[in-house]
Chain A
Amino acid sequence: MKQPAEQTAVTEEKVQSPALKNMKDLVKKFKRNKPAVVGFYFIVILLLIAIIVTVLDRMFGVIVTPHHPNDINLIDRFTGPTAEYWFGTDHMGRDIFARIIYGMIYTLGIGFASVIMGALVGVPLGIVAGYYGGRIDNIIMRIVDVLLAFPGILLALAIVSILGGSLVNVTIAVAIYSIPGFARIVRGSTLATKKLEYIDAIRALGASDFRIIFRHILPNVLSPIIVNATLYIATAILTAAGLSFLGMGAQPPLPEWGAMLNDGRSFLRDAGHIALFPGLAILTVVLAFNIFGDGLRDALDPKLKN
């Protein structure tokens, strides 16, 4: 008679992975932070627009905006915002609205690509430094300290002047500049994680360092990595725009926002809108990433329960 009772007990309990449960908790906590949710949706919408317009342009040759971003229309140059040119035109009569829409892919692309590249280098460095400690830790972290000692834009500038100005090189420069942040954060989390008893248990079983690092430590340091990455995208976009503004990044006629800002610089007094709209675009995207990143950090922080 004992058997059926046990059976019901089994079916009642639903096994829920703690990873899945944490994910649900995270979403719930994140949703309470309204600005962060707005930031998140804003980023998603921008990403979708950027990808869709680029795909349509490159694969089908379809331009969704009223004007082609690179069409020069000298008659209409320096036009302020009108019904035809929503954000006005620049000194060559190009539609600023179209250029911002088509430039979005470069700005977001640099942001994501550089942060991913930086994480791919910085995270392993940080884990190795934290896990092995001692001399290896010292060597890695001192190199990272040297990188960190340079002001970001200066470092990126130096790298770009060595590699030459292009979109790819800007991405590499910003990636290098984001390595120290990842390495430091990951090292700290690794130091905390490797002290846990279950890491000792798995070591006592004879697990290799490789297995311990990838199976047991990496999943535990993932959340600070994600938060850091989100916040770094904003910085990366800003740095990339700065480099383009200085003429070291995207080359004309690419509608990169930083480069557009630079175009408008000479006409600030007479036609401020040329610089204003790319500037506003950079501001909103960076702000969205920052608010989203902050919200994500708060949601992932176990100390902030409510």
Chain B
Amino acid sequence: MNRKNKELLSVENLKQYFPIKGGIFGRTVNNVKAVDDVSFTVYEGETVSIVGESGCGKSTTGRAILRLDTPTSGKVEFDGVDLVSLNKKQMRKMRKDMQIIFQDPYASLNPRQTVRQILNEAMEIQNVVPKSDRDDRIAELMKTVGLQPFQADRFPHEFSGGQRQRIGIARALSVDPKLIICDEAVSALDVSIQAQVLNLLQRFQREMNLTYLFISHDLGVVRHISDRIIVMYLGKIVEIGDKESIFENPQHPYTKALLSAIPVPDPEIKKERILLQGDIPSPIDPPTGCRFHTRCPFATDKCKEELPVLESLSHMTEGHEAACHYAKEIETGEHKPTKDITKVR
């Protein structure tokens, strides 16, 4: 969108390893490298999406930014403050500015609390609204997310999935955050409800100048809502760029394969589908060099040894970067796939 806006969130060399304990003394025998050296920047007012298949570390990245899990190493700078170095108490204060909307609207609300109690508690924790005004604020929030104020005294089980997700959104909005991380926020909803919730989120972005970090595996949703897109594979960023660049001019073979999997709602259109061989390797012992080399149709010996870095090439737009040794050669047709991987549907 607009690169001139100021940086709101900057993630540098973020690593999130989960130790695997073993042996009699519970020593750390290995690590699950869920997120391995990830850096990116989110500017104020934009929507950045992280896409990738299950287990690529996209949710873990979101959780590490919010310090729901403490990152192994790296820097997360929010509004100029390094979150990783804050102590618990300072972090609690910072949480007012960054909220999260979860995937499962059934698990993310305490079933024993009414909507009023849920929202009230959120405001009480951050002390954003004086006690006497909270009821008004709750009514206002309910209306904002498209629910009726009188429904505030109901329990979560009395609402549908879409309505519950709206309550989750109301809870996140109740503390006036600057950044909202949407962790698969619409994946659990029906397609029609997805559209409603997405439009709601977009409206809030305009009205309240919110910034979204949108974590999703649904490329259709991502295409609809994002300004910029980050593609992750096995704990690393393979490609980053604005929406048009990623969708119209994908550079990394993985991104191409991912995009070719988007269904087209027209049986007449024949599409080339890139089928990847094999499974995603284990993040406990990821492949050396380029992590994608085990499944990449273009892989050579160089890919097995050298780790490619994110770089922007002459035929790419500004800010569009891909981590592939052969990005240019593939584009010009000099580097051919070593095996045939396309299939016409």
A198–B68 CB distance below 8 A? no
Q: Which residues of A contact B103 (CB under 8 A)?
A: 197
Residues of B41-100 at the interface with A, using a CB-CB cut-off of 8 Å, are: 63, 66, 68, 91-96, 98-100
* B315 within 8 A of partner (CB): no
Q: Which residues of A contact B155 (CB under 8 A)?
A: 15-18
**Interface residues as binary, A74-114 with B (CB distance below 8 Å gives 1, 0 otherwise):** 00000000000000000000000000000000000000000
B interface size (C-beta, 8 A): 35
- In the complex, what distance in Å separates the CA atom of A208 from the CA atom of B66? 15
Residues of A46-91 at the interface with B, using a CB-CB cut-off of 8 Å, are: none
Q: How many A-B contacts are there with CB distance less than 8 Å?
A: 72
Binds B, one of A157-165, A199-207, A225-233: A199-207
Q: Which residues of A contact B214 (CB under 8 A)?
A: none
**Interface hub of A13, A17, A200, A203 (most chain B Cβ within 10 A):** A200
- In the complex, what distance in Å separates the CA atom of A19 from the CA atom of B36? 44
Residues of A184-222 at the interface with B, using a CB-CB cut-off of 8 Å, are: 196-198, 200-208, 211, 215-216, 219
| B297 smallest CB distance to A (angstroms) | 38
Q: Which residues of B contact A5 (CB under 8 A)?
A: none
A204–B66 CB distance below 8 A? yes
- Contact partner, A19, options B112, B121, B175, Cβ 8 Å: B112
- Contact partner, B153, options A15, A198, A201, A208, Cβ 8 Å: A15
Which of the four size classes fits the interface of chain A? 20 to 34
Contacts A18-B111, A18-B112, A208-B92: A201 and B171 contacting too (C-beta < 8 A)? yes
Contacts A197-B107, A201-B100: A15 and B154 contacting too (C-beta < 8 A)? yes
Q: Using a CB–CB distance below 8 Å, which chain A residues touch chain B?
A: 10, 13, 15-19, 196-198, 200-208, 211, 215-216, 219
Q: Using a CB–CB distance below 8 Å, which chain B residues touch chain A?
A: 63, 66, 68, 91-96, 98-100, 102-104, 107-112, 114, 121-122, 125-126, 150, 153-155, 157-158, 168, 171, 175
A-B contact list, 11 entries, CB within 8 Å:
A17-B155, A197-B108, A200-B100, A202-B121, A204-B95, A204-B98, A205-B175, A206-B91, A206-B95, A207-B125, A211-B125
